[in-house]
Chains A and B, each alone.
Chain A
Amino acid sequence: MAGLEIRNVQKSFGTTPILHGVSIDIQDGEFVILVGPSGCGKSTLLRMIAGLENITAGEIRIGSRVVNAVPPKERDIAMVFQNYALYPHMTVRDNMAFSLKLRKAPKDETATRVNRAAAILGLEKLLDRYPRQLSGGQRQRVAMGRAIVRDPQVFLFDEPLSNLDAKLRVAMRAEIKELHQRLRTTTVYVTHDQIEAMTMADKIVVMHDGNVEQIGAPLELYDRPDNMFVAGFIGSPAMNFLKGQVTGNSFRTDGGLTLPLPTRGARPAEGQRAVYGLRPEHVRLAEGGVPVEVAVVEPTGSETLVLVRPPGEAAGTDLVKDLGRDMACVFRERIAARPGERIAITADPNLVHLFDPESGRRLS
């Protein structure tokens, strides 16, 4: 096993720059997840680690070895593809044994390794089937088996669960996590599902448009996002961003709501324009709080999602990105309010954020 070091890596396809200098340090045995919206370059970066794309500039090290010029088969990595890329003309057994066969490993060693991987993944009964005779989840497991058999330095996963239904995805998520705890192989895992990222990662790398926006442990990103992009990307439903300015001891939104200033960090200057970041789950119902008008109530059973707006204002006035949406609040309590009624809310000053409206960076 080995760590992975990505130093200022850039990538262009032709003249189009895709990655603009990405640096990530991955410790030996760490489970790192790359997240980001579609097209931000996650797969490209992963394929560069695998050696399927060449590196325009910068350096990738596996262990202590620079692998820029090392062909894929000598990098000692295994990759699980989004479409699994199982060899359709080989049985499950042969699929898993393929890399060993190419390496001319002894037959009994191959058999042992394949059987062990099959046992780990519960594939024993399927070894003689062809990929077309498997369900999506089973194929996914075979693809992982193929990687495990190799016993590589690094596992690479490219959205391995995106073709599965929601329930299976949750199950496989746990399985992959457990597998990692067992094997402790350094893993780089790409997804655009932030729940996957939050639940599985030791460390999350948030990417956007070919840049790394922030790297950190899941809760770190949740609690202290560096900028509005990360703040909006991590957490579901997404954080509310309210435009406004600092007025006295509080923050006054353009729609007229008065909210408490964050307790953390330096106090912003009076009158400073800022974006107030408030997670839906950090909104509280409070007697004597800020009155808002209920627009939509969506009970989900365990909690209630309520969309609210400043009284008398049109939808989305306060919000930075005019999504035509109201401010989202998630309450543990069941809310009986109807659209049009008023409720009083407040925000926990320990859990709110302020961002610079121009750069999007976190203030303080």
Chain B
Amino acid sequence: MADIALDRPAAASREGASAWSRLRTSRGWLGLWFMAPAALILLLFLAFPLVKGIWLSFTDTRIGRGGAFVGLENYEWLWDDSVFWLSVFNTLLYTAIASVAKFGIGLYLALLLNKRLPFKALIRSIVLIPFVVPTVLSALAFWWIFDSQFSIISWSLRHLGLLDHNIDFLGDPTWARTCVIFANIWRGVPFIAITLLAGLQTVSPSLYEAATIDGATPWQNFRHITFPLLTPIIAVVMTFSVLFTFTDFQLIWAMTRGGPVNATHLMATLSYQRGILSGSLGEGAAIATAMVPFLMLAIMISWFGLQNRKWQSG
């Protein structure tokens, strides 16, 4: 769109200039030069591992032993592997519940923090704490909270007389799933809340005033003003959230290592277990590669479904 203006210096020097000086002065080429370092880094550190991983998934490489190309054999194995399918199910469940809950709670918190509150700055920093604590550390804390013998929850409930035995939080499949999802929500909410808060603060207060005068109730203000204006940022933040949740590894590994009986194994943890711990790099790579279509789908949905709005400039 601005190309017309930007191209002018190049056009001026077109006649009688050598190819090199044209390369040096053309705005288009200049852009390419500036992009090159970043592109190179991206290629080296992002594309290469990805391609390498996908390549590995077509081999029977084991740790310490180079492998041969085996075609789709790893995938055929996985196709018949009930643990793999369980991990797919777990991942989808984990991602769906955690993302929806994180969105709901995050949005609620953001709306709350956007109001005039006493000690606003303090409350905002408190909200950020779960995000600041290293994941492994918080996972350990959760592990302790949900421990079968020393769980503070069981202890409190027992002392209140509501319970006569300890709950085996991480030993029971349903409880274990609930606990890891809870931990993920706890950890993910601040990111969403703070990002949405930033989005909320870009909405001009006079829009709410105009809507109020037009007769909008607080709910209608949210429904017709806040929410639509927030959709672009919701799209971005939820895409990230879904991607991070889908590929989550640390929390699970620190809390349950995929147990009990694979009930909390996600694709990422299963891939690590098969690929690194059991040494079947090829199979691990295949599991990891199997995540790619899901992630692509998530990106597509947000890209086409939410991000481009006619009313936005640019």
Contacts and interface: CB of A to CB of B under 8 A. Distances in A.
Interface of A: 50-52, 72-73, 77-79, 81, 83, 85, 87-90, 98-99, 102-103, 130-132, 146, 150
Contact of B213 (A73, A87, A88): A73
Nearest to B210: A85
Contacts of B224: 87, 98, 102
Given A73-B213, A73-B215, A85-B207, 15 more contacts: A52-B212, A73-B216, A78-B213, A81-B209, A85-B204, A87-B207, A87-B210, A87-B211, A88-B229, A89-B228, A98-B211, A98-B214, A102-B220, A130-B310, A146-B210
Nearest to A50: B213
A24 B216 CA distance: 29
A312 B215 CA distance: 66
B213 A79 contact: yes
Nearest to A102: B215
A43 to B, nearest CB: 11
B222 to A, nearest CB: 13
B205 to A, nearest CB: 9
Given A103-B215, A132-B313, A150-B214, A85 B225 contact: no
B212 A73 contact: yes
Contacts of B206: 81, 83, 85
A154 to B, nearest CB: 11
Interface in B224-253: 224-225, 228-229
Contacts of B207: 85, 87
B120 interface: no
Contacts of A132: 311-313
A78 B209 CA distance: 11
Contacts of A150: 214
B14 interface: no
A102 B211 CA distance: 10
Contacts, number: 60
A150 B311 CA distance: 24
Contacts of A102: 214-216, 220, 224
Contacts of A130: 310-311
6 contacts: A72-B212, A81-B206, A83-B204, A89-B228, A99-B214, A146-B214
B309 interface: yes
A138 to B, nearest CB: 15
Contacts of A99: 214-215
A89 B215 contact: no
Interface of B: 204, 206-207, 209-216, 220, 224-225, 228-229, 309-313
A72 B210 CA distance: 10
Contacts of A52: 209, 212-213
A131 B224 CA distance: 16
A51 B216 CA distance: 13
Contacts of A72: 212-213
From A85, A99, A103, residue with most partner B Cβ within 10 Å: A85
Contacts of A146: 210, 214
A146 B213 CA distance: 11
Contacts of B211: 87, 98
A72 B204 CA distance: 18
**4 cross-chain pairs, A with B, having the tightest CB-CB distances, nearest first:** A99-B214, A73-B215, A85-B210, A85-B206
A79 B225 CA distance: 17
A83 B210 CA distance: 11
A51 B214 CA distance: 12
A146 B310 CA distance: 21
A77 B215 CA distance: 10
Nearest to A99: B214
Contact of A85 (B209, B216, B310): B209
A87 B211 CA distance: 9
A88 B215 CA distance: 18
Nearest to A78: B213
Nearest to B207: A85
Nearest to B231: A89
A106 to B, nearest CB: 16
A73 B211 CA distance: 9
A87 B228 CA distance: 10
Given A98-B224, A99-B215, A132-B311, A89 B229 contact: yes
B128 to A, nearest CB: 29
Contacts of B216: 73, 102
Nearest to A83: B206
Nearest to B208: A85
B297 to A, nearest CB: 27
B210 A81 contact: yes
Nearest to A150: B214
